[in-house]
């Protein structure tokens, strides 16, 4: 039986671990904080899927919505194959203990989010990720062939032949954050399931673990990375400066919440007051939304469009946020459907269903990642061949499904489908055990870092550069400025890295700075605007503003 190391403990990592362990393989899940500290745990929306395989029309509509959202850049073959598998994976999750919400008649309650033409999202109120993480962690914890290893920060992949990516990998060096020692996790195969890189931006919906570790490790080992220019900003995170970021799920817009700017809010409130005075029905807020200037779908347009619309509105008005209004949704049991959001708003003295919610866009999802084939194998930079024994699944991977802009609630779907495929591949083709030596970590002559101040300063400067220069709307000048700064920053970080023993701060900074640089380079390589990449210097005359 093989020994597989999985780095990351979100839906992708835990699902793959459960499948492999059920088939008799031994799995170590290395995760840098607690098992539940993953982006999955923070996901509110859900999983888009059609359960009934005979519902061809429903599946085709999901495919078309995904392709439309991806703005012509999806790999249609991949999209079709993932959506075809969706129902089976939902059943797997249910079997593993996930409880999706049901209607009173026992059928699954379906939600809708931006870019979806119909309700097709399996969810658990507004905390779907938490429910998935709960069920999978319970299953994995009980499994005697799964070792969950929290506080284990992956540093770098170990190549079977040092300097030769074609021979693949044989494990991972990790920092045991309890002992501060570097340990070697030996593996016949390594699966990266490390999530994204939202921490590169000041405002993000991601947890603090989202620092691009897996992506950076894979790149340094010689794996291909694709589509990093496409960073998805979620249109609606709570605007609460100085506080932990908080997502306001798109599912709220799915039940009718509408985005208004100050002017639209004032006009709508005035129109409502007039209507009440003349004993008429108050108007819906939809017609007052600035988002209609950008898409006939208004607040329910795809994320790239809505986030850009808000960004433009904020830049034009000089305000700090726009509003999501819900007070017209008197027929919807908002606090029952969205208990997490309702409770969080209360902390700021806001009542869901009453007060306008101040929102801003925030970095949310990395569409690109480690390029993988249909079974999740990473490719080599050198020759475009699969890299032996290295797999990537979930947000860290780029399968081709999301194109230039991910459709809401397609990410947990893609993650579970590819986790299943990698596991099945390893079950059908157990990797031959690695009999060679595992080289020790290069610890000779290294000192503990005496001063952390430069690292903290460098991270702040990196985040500030990415936020200012590599946001929702880009320009060549700003991207080049970011490129120069990041080049210098990477050189400085490399000097510290080569001279010191690793700490979480330096490991994360090294990864963030590398990925920041790759994002900028890829953004400068784009020759047209599509989906989430929008460079004012690429605007064609016939392109809507
Ligand atoms: C949300 O609930 O708005 C996020 C869902 C997603 O990113 O897919």
Q: Tell me the pLDDT tens digit for each residue of 383-417.
A: 989 999 999 999 999 999 999 999 999 999 999 99
Q: What is the 3-state secondary structure (H, E, C) of 294-359?
A: CCCCHHHCCHHHHHHHHHHHHHHHCCCCEEEECCCCCCCCHHHHCHHHHHHHHHCCCCCCCCCEEE
Other CB atoms within a 10 A radius of the CB of residue 132 amount to 31
For position 190, what pLDDT does the model report? 98
The 10s digit of each residue's pLDDT in 517-540 is 999 999 999 999 999 999 999 987
Query: Over 50: is that where the pLDDT of 54 sits?
Result: yes
Mean per-residue pLDDT, 474-498:
96
Q: What is the Cα 374 distance to its own chain's centre?
A: 20
Cα–Cα distance, 34 to 177 (Å, whole number): 11
Assess whether the C-beta atom of 411 lies below 6 angstroms from ligand 1. Answer: yes
Which residue, by CA, sits nearest to atom 8 of ligand 1? 409
Q: What confidence tier does 446 reach under pLDDT thresholds 50, 70, 90?
A: confident
Query: Over 70: is that where the pLDDT of 439 sits?
Result: yes
For position 543, what pLDDT does the model report? 47
DSSP 8-state code for residue 33: S
> What is the chain's length?
545
Assess whether the C-beta atom of 44 lies below 6 angstroms from ligand 1. Answer: yes
Q: What confidence tier does 541 reach under pLDDT thresholds 50, 70, 90?
A: low
Cα–Cα distance, 163 to 51 (Å, whole number): 46
Catalytic residue chosen out of the listed positions 19, 303, 344, 485:
303
Mutate to test the pocket of ligand 1, among 116, 409, 415 (most ligand atoms within 8 A of CB): 409
Beta bridge partners of 359: 238, 322
For position 458, what pLDDT does the model report? 96
Q: Which residue has the higher pLDDT, 36 or 234?
A: 234
Mutate to test the pocket of ligand 1, among 10, 39, 40, 44 (most ligand atoms within 8 A of CB): 44
Do 352 and 338 contact (CB within 8 A), yes or no?
yes
Using alpha carbons, list the distances in angstroms from residue 21 to 6, 137, 385, 506.
Answer: 12, 13, 28, 33
The 10s digit of each residue's pLDDT in 94-128 is 999 999 999 999 999 999 999 999 999 999 999 99
Of 413-417, 443-447, 510-514, the least confident: 443-447
The token duo for 461 is: 């400067």
Classify strands 189-192 and 386-392 as parallel, antiparallel or unpaired: parallel
Closest CA to 153 of 204, 195, 214: 214
Mutate to test the pocket of ligand 1, among 251, 304, 337, 363 (most ligand atoms within 8 A of CB): 251
Is 377 part of the annotated catalytic residue set? no
Of the chain, the percentage scoring pLDDT greater than 90 comes to 89
State the distance from the centre of ligand 1 to the C-alpha of 115, rounded, in angstroms. 11
Q: Which atom of ligand 1 is nearest to the CA of 236?
A: 3
The 10s digit of each residue's pLDDT in 145-195 is 999 999 999 999 999 998 899 999 999 999 999 999 999 999 999 999 999
Helix (H) or strand (E) holding 457: helix 453-469
Do 7 and 172 contact (CB within 8 A), yes or no?
yes
Question: DSSP labels for 383-447?
Answer: TSPEEEEEEE-GGGEE-SSSTTSPPTT-HHHHHHHHHHHHHHHHHHSPPPPP-S--PPP--TT-B
The token duo for 352 is: 């869901």
Mean per-residue pLDDT, 69-97:
97
| pTM of the entire predicted model | 0.95
């Amino acid at each position: 039986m093989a020994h597989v190391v999985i780095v990351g403990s979100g839906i992708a990592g835990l699902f793959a671990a459960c499948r492999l362990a059920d088939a008799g393989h031994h799995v170590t899940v290395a995760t840098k904080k607690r098992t539940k500290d993953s982006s999955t745990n923070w996901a509110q929306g859900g999983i888009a899927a059609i359960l009934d395989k005979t519902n061809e029309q429903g599946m085709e509509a999901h495919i078309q919505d995904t392709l439309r959202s991806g703005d012509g850049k999806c790999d249609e073959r991949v999209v079709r194959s993932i959506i075809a598998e969706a129902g089976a994976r939902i059943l797997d999750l249910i079997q593993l203990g996930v409880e999706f919400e049901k209607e009173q008649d026992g059928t699954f309650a379906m939600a809708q989010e931006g870019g979806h033409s119909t309700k097709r999202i399996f969810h658990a109120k507004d905390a779907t990720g938490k429910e998935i993480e709960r069920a999978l962690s319970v299953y994995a914890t009980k499994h005697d062939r799964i070792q969950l290893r929290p506080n284990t920060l992956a540093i770098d992949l170990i190549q079977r032949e040092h300097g030769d990516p074609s021979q693949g990998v044989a494990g991972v060096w990790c920092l045991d954050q309890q002992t501060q020692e570097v340990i070697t996790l030996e593996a016949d195969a390594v699966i990266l399931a490390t999530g994204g890189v939202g921490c590169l931006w000041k405002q993000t919906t991601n947890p603090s673990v989202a620092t691009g570790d897996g992506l950076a490790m894979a790149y340094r080992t010689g794996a291909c990375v694709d589509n990093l220019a496409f960073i998805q900003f979620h249109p609606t995170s709570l605007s609460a400066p100085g506080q932990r970021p908080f997502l306001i799920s798109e599912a709220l817009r799915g039940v009718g919440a509408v985005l208004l700017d100050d002017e639209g809010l004032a006009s709508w409130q005035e129109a409502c007051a007039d209507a009440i005075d003349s004993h008429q029905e108050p108007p819906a807020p939809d017609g007052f939304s600035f988002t209609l200037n950008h898409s006939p779908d208004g607040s329910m347009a795809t994320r790239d469009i809505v986030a850009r619309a808000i960004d433009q509105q904020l830049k034009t008005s000089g305000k700090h946020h726009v509003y999501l209004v819900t007070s017209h949704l008197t027929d919807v049991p908002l606090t029952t459907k969205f208990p997490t959001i309702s409770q969080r708003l209360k902390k700021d003295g806001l009542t869901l269903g009453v007060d306008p919610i101040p929102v801003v866009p925030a970095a949310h999802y990395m569409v690109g990642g480690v390029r993988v084939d249909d079974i999740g194998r990473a490719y080599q930079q050198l020759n475009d061949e699969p890299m032996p024994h290295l797999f990537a699944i979930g947000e860290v991977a780029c399968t081709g499904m999301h194109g230039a802009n991910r459709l809401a609630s397609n990410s947990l779907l893609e993650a579970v489908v590819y986790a299943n495929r990698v596991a099945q591949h390893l079950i059908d083709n157990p990797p031959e055990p690695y009999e060679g030596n595992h080289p020790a970590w290069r610890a000779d002559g290294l000192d503990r870092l005496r001063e952390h101040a430069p690292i903290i300063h460098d991270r702040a400067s990196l985040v500030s550069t990415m936020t200012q220069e590599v946001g929702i709307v880009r320009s060549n000048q700003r991207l080049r400025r970011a490129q120069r700064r990041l080049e210098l920053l990477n050189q400085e970080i490399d000097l510290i890295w080569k001279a010191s023993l690793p700490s979480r701060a330096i490991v994360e900074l090294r990864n963030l700075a590398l990925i920041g640089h790759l994002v900028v380079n890829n953004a400068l390589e784009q020759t047209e605007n599509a989906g989430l990449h929008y460079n004012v210097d690429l605007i064609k005359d016939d392109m809507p503003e």
